[in-house]
């Protein structure tokens, strides 16, 4: 059909215009509105579609609430790729047994879940049919990585709200016996640096502060 959308350049819109504002307490404990630009959202979508192997026939489940920025990742990776987005009802999301059944019954291919929801749950083998399982929202643990079935591509994703949801991702190898789960490498158009108290780069293996830059940095 004919494209009836107005030309964005005629409206003066650019990639630096505001896409959304989402509130987070961050490291201060005081709520603040984080302003995310369109370029960050587009970069996130394109990076995660590639990292998570999302295709037009994929079935992406939205688990996160609209008050949590992880929902942006779930929505845009589906809509930007032409995939189907499945939104389970709240009673399903808060009951892991029902959630597993929903994932199986709906043949969900891509799901993002917080590690605390999964750790210690029985019958994790029922998730073996999922194509990509993303762990996000908090630190993952080695016991969880070892308990998950071998079938899915398991990604440990990390990122503060101020970087447009996700900054890095680590893919679980076929055999993992580590004590600590890495946060992985930066997604596309993102840079991360571990620096000391003076802003100098830390040597490999030395703890420091994580600085993140790139297309996803908020205003």
Over range 111-122, report the average pLDDT: 96
Q: What is the largest CA-CA distance in the chain?
A: 58
Supply the pLDDT for residue 7.
82
- Whole-angstrom CA distances from 19 to 125, 139, 147 are 39, 28, 38
Query: Would 106 be classed as within a structural domain?
Result: yes
- Whole-angstrom CA distances from 67 to 71, 122, 187 are 8, 29, 23
Supply the pLDDT for residue 1.
63
- Please state, in angstroms and rounded to a whole number, the distance separating the CA atoms of residues 183 and 168: 6
Each residue's pLDDT tens digit, 167-179: 999 999 999 999 9
Which residue in the block uniquely carries the two structure tokens 């679980």? 172
Range of the domain at 115: 38-185
How confident is residue 135, by pLDDT bands cut at 50, 70 and 90?
very high
Each residue's pLDDT tens digit, 179-219: 999 999 999 999 999 999 999 999 999 999 999 999 999 99
How many folded domains does the chain comprise?
1
- The H-or-E segment that residue 153 falls in is strand 153-158
* pLDDT above 80: residue 27: no
Supply the pLDDT for residue 31.
86
Q: In a 10 Å sphere around its CB, with 0-12 CB exposed, 13-18 middle and 19+ buried, how is residue 193 labelled?
A: middle
Query: Would 215 be classed as within a structural domain?
Result: no
Query: Would 160 be classed as within a structural domain?
Result: yes
pTM of the prediction?
Answer: 0.93
Query: Would 50 be classed as within a structural domain?
Result: yes
Query: Would 82 be classed as within a structural domain?
Result: yes
Query: Would 117 be classed as within a structural domain?
Result: yes
SS3 assignment, position 215: coil
How confident is residue 12, by pLDDT bands cut at 50, 70 and 90?
confident
Supply the pLDDT for residue 74.
98
Per the prediction, the chain carries an average pLDDT of 95
Which is it for strands 132-135 and 153-158: parallel, antiparallel or unpaired? parallel
Supply the pLDDT for residue 84.
99
Each residue's pLDDT tens digit, 85-107: 999 999 999 999 999 999 999 99
Indicate which CATH number applies to the domain containing 57: 3.40.50.980
Query: Would 52 be classed as within a structural domain?
Result: yes
Query: Would 51 be classed as within a structural domain?
Result: yes
């Amino acid at each position: 059909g004919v494209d009836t959308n107005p030309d964005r350049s005629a409206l003066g819109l650019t990639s630096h215009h505001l896409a959304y504002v989402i509130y987070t307490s961050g490291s201060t404990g005081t709520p603040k509105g984080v302003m995310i630009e369109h370029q960050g959202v587009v970069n996130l979508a394109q990076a995660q579609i590639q990292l998570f192997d999302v295709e037009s026939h994929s079935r992406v489940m939205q688990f996160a609430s609209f008050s949590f920025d992880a929902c942006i990742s779930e929505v845009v990776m589906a809509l930007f790729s032409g995939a189907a987005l499945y939104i389970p009802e709240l009673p399903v999301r808060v009951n892991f047994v029902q959630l597993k059944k929903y994932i199986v019954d709906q043949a969900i291919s891509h799901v993002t879940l917080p590690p605390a929801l999964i750790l210690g749950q029985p019958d994790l083998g029922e998730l073996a049919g999922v194509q990509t399982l993303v762990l996000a929202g908090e630190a993952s643990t080695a016991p969880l990585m070892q308990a998950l079935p071998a079938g899915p591509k398991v990604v440990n994703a990390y990122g503060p709200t101020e970087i447009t949801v996700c900054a890095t991702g680590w893919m679980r190898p076929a055999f993992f016996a580590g004590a600590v789960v890495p946060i992985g490498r930066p997604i596309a158009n993102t840079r991360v640096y571990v620096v000391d108290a003076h802003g100098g780069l830390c040597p490999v293996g030395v703890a420091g502060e994580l600085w993140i830059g790139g297309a996803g940095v908020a205003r």
